[in-house]
Amino acid sequence: MSLPSSRTSPASTPSFRVRLARRGDGEQLGHLLAELGHTGAGDTATVHWVLSHPEIEVHVAADASDRPLGLLSLSHRPQLRLSGRVATIDELVVLPAARRQGVGRALLQRALERARVLSVKRVDLQLPSVPDESTFRFCEAMGFRDAERGVVTRVP
């Protein structure tokens, strides 16, 4: 499926278009995950697994050479207490050289469009383990607020 959302930008800003990730993007997905702090993530088997999963969508913003500059993965599932579908943006990252050019916004807009189509009742955004100022500024600009919902974690 080719997705038409795109931005043709002035002068120094590269144009990009948002599309679904493909298996051939695997190497660049690995680079983007490393930018998010997950060095070594994005092995071929996992990329194929995730890309073929019926309740996960991975969207990328690709430059004029079709190389992903940014990545957003969206997973969704029905939840008992919500009586509806909840979605989580598990990963959202833009290459440092491509930041502040609307890439993150375009990816998020695509995810929100998809959430509406899927009748999602709530969208959570997973923060990086070490968020910085841009993370918080972006979240604020995009209308996200602290959920104040405690989550603890461990290995099974």
Ligand X SMILES: CC(C)(COP(=O)(O)OP(=O)(O)OC[C@H]1O[C@@H](n2cnc3c(N)ncnc32)[C@H](O)[C@@H]1OP(=O)(O)O)[C@@H](O)C(=O)NCCC(=O)NCCS
Is 129 buried (19+), middle (13-18) or exposed (0-12) by CB count in 10 A?
exposed
Minimum CB distance to ligand X, residue 106 (Å): 7
Instruction: Give CA 66 to chain center in angstroms.
Output: 17
Amino acid in the structure at residue 29: L
Closer residue to ligand X (CB): 15 or 44: 15
Q: CB nearer to ligand X: give 31 or 105.
A: 105
Query: Cβ 107 to ligand X, closest distance in Å?
Result: 8
* C-beta closer to ligand X: residue 67 or 105: 105
6-25 as b/e: b if 16+ CB within 10 A: ebeeeeeebebbbbebeeeb
User: Given the complex with ligand X, which of 64 and 81 has the nearer CB atom?
Assistant: 64
Residue closer to ligand X by CB (options 48, 136) is 136
Cα–Cα distance, 41 to 140 (Å, whole number): 28
Residue nearest to ligand X (CB): 104
What's the closest the beta carbon of residue 94 comes to ligand X, in angstroms?
4
CA dihedral 112, 143, 99, 30 (to 10 degrees): -50
Give the whole-angstrom CA distance, residue 140 versus residue 31: 26
Minimum CB–partner distance for residue 83 and ligand X (Å) = 27
Can you name the residues that pair with 49 across neighbouring β-strands?
A: none
Query: Residue numbers of the site for ligand X (CB under 6 A)?
Result: 36, 92-94, 99-105, 125, 127-128, 131, 134-135, 137-139, 141
Nearest-approach distance from CB 156 to ligand X, in angstroms: 26
